Structure 1
Amino acid sequence: MSQERNYSNDDFEDKQSTVDVDTYENDSVSALQERTFSEEVLTDEVEQQGNHLDDNQNSKKEKRTSFIKELLVYVVIFFIGLYIIPNYVLQRTVVDGDSMQNTLHNEESLLIDKISYVVGDPKRFDIVVFYPYGKDVDEYYVKRVIGLPGETIQIIGSDIYINGEILKENYGKDPISSAGIAKNPITLAEDEYFLLGDNREISFDSRYKEVGPVHRDYIEGKAFLRIWPLNKFGFVD
């Protein structure tokens, strides 16, 4: 004999309540999960935006730093080219007149080496640029070194004597006809040089009392390279 189970309305309501509660709990969990996920996504987006802003700021800083470095490099190059090189390394000069013929000619352009005389002294037969009246006077000459510090110079006839011995050289365009102050022996001081132009008939040089022996400090540098005219480009002797 079978048994039948009767469900009352209360039982049905209890079951319905249980289902509703479960559904509410599931909905709440889902909503909470969705909210948590949304918050995580939002946090990631904020972090990405923050990282992007940081990257932009770093990029701008790097660009500013790079610009400043490049600017400093150009300033240094400009300073070296405008001040250091002309004053301490190389200088362009132009021959004015015919006193150095046949070695140099009027309006030829030369490069002057200054650094050599910072580490060393002029040598005999160097062609030098010097200020005969001091560097405060903007007038320079180009001549050849003949006598060195401490030597005794004398010109007898067309011959140059150094410490009583004839100097063997062939730089003169023509024989000397005027000894000037070197007619009598001249003993150079420890900072003096005796300079002559190669065109000795017209050169205004150490033979004249207005110039005389030249102080070491007045010698600016050594002429070593002819840069104009181009067909004569090369080292000078």
Structure 2
Amino acid sequence: MSDKFKKEAIEWVKIIATALVFAFIITQFIRPTLVRGESMYPTLEENDYLIINRMSYKMGEPRKGDVIVFSTDLLQDDGTPKDLVKRVIAVAGDHIKIQDSKVYVNDKLVEESYIHNAYTEGNIDQVIPEGKVFAMGDNREKSLDSRYEEVGLVDDNNIMGKVMIRLFPFNKIGTIK
């Protein structure tokens, strides 16, 4: 083998190793996810491609209004666990009450300019325990969320991260509020 070939091979190995290290580091901090369903309409739509910040809750707690991705015990058609995208409505220590289609947190009516329709089904009256959050979709009529036994309160340990950016469709690239 020629010296030129060896130098070239070493350079390629360095480039590939560097790329793998960067890929590993990046995947520890962010994760892509795809929206399935209409539960977060109009904020998010089916097939929106999102980037979530996996580190957002390693150093802090979820806050009301955050859009999060969390794992559930629900199964998809292929048998894999289903991840859900929802908005945090109440956090540990908060008293949430849903009555007559209105949402109250700590006895204050929650202003929800982001919801698709004004009707919120359910009669909830509970204090959120430590280590849990109450999350709902923005499209309340099409959302399986903390109001229902199948999902229930979201354990902090099941939260994968906070939605940071919508990458696709390209005409809607930007942060999520």
TM-score norm. by structure 2 comes to 0.85
Alignment-mate amino acid for residue 168 of structure 2: W
- By percentage of residues, which structure has more strand? 2
> Counterparts of 2:69 and 2:111 in 1: how far apart (Å)?
23
Query: What is the deviation of 1:65?
Result: 9.4
Q: Which residue of 1 aligns with 2:52?
A: 112
Q: Which residue of 2 aligns with 1:95?
A: 35
- By percentage of residues, which structure has more helix? 1
Alignment-mate amino acid for residue 139 of structure 1: K
Establish whether residue 84 from structure 1 lines up as the match of residue 17 from structure 2.
no
Write the deviation string for residues 154-183 of structure 1: whole angstroms up to 9, x where unpaired: 10112111122222222211123411xxx1
Q: Which has the larger radius of gyration?
A: 1
Write the deviation string for residues 99-148 of structure 1: whole angstroms up to 9, x where unpaired: 111111101111111122222221111111111229xx531011001001
Unaligned runs of 5+ in 2: 75-79
> Counterparts of 1:80 and 1:117 in 2: how far apart (Å)?
22
> Counterparts of 2:101 and 2:117 in 1: how far apart (Å)?
9
Q: Which residue of 2 aligns with 1:158?
A: 101
Count of matched residue pairs: 170
> Counterparts of 1:142 and 1:129 in 2: how far apart (Å)?
5
Alignment-mate amino acid for residue 34 of structure 2: V
SS in 1 for 2:89: strand
Alignment-mate amino acid for residue 220 of structure 1: M
Distance change (3 Å), C-alpha of 1:95 and 1:192: same
Contact 2:132–2:153, Cα closer than 8 Å, also in 1? yes
> Counterparts of 1:149 and 1:65 in 2: how far apart (Å)?
58
> Counterparts of 1:208 and 1:220 in 2: how far apart (Å)?
20
> Counterparts of 1:129 and 1:196 in 2: how far apart (Å)?
11
Query: What is the deviation of 1:195?
Result: 0.3
Establish whether residue 143 from structure 1 lines up as the match of residue 86 from structure 2.
yes
Identity of matched residues, % = 33
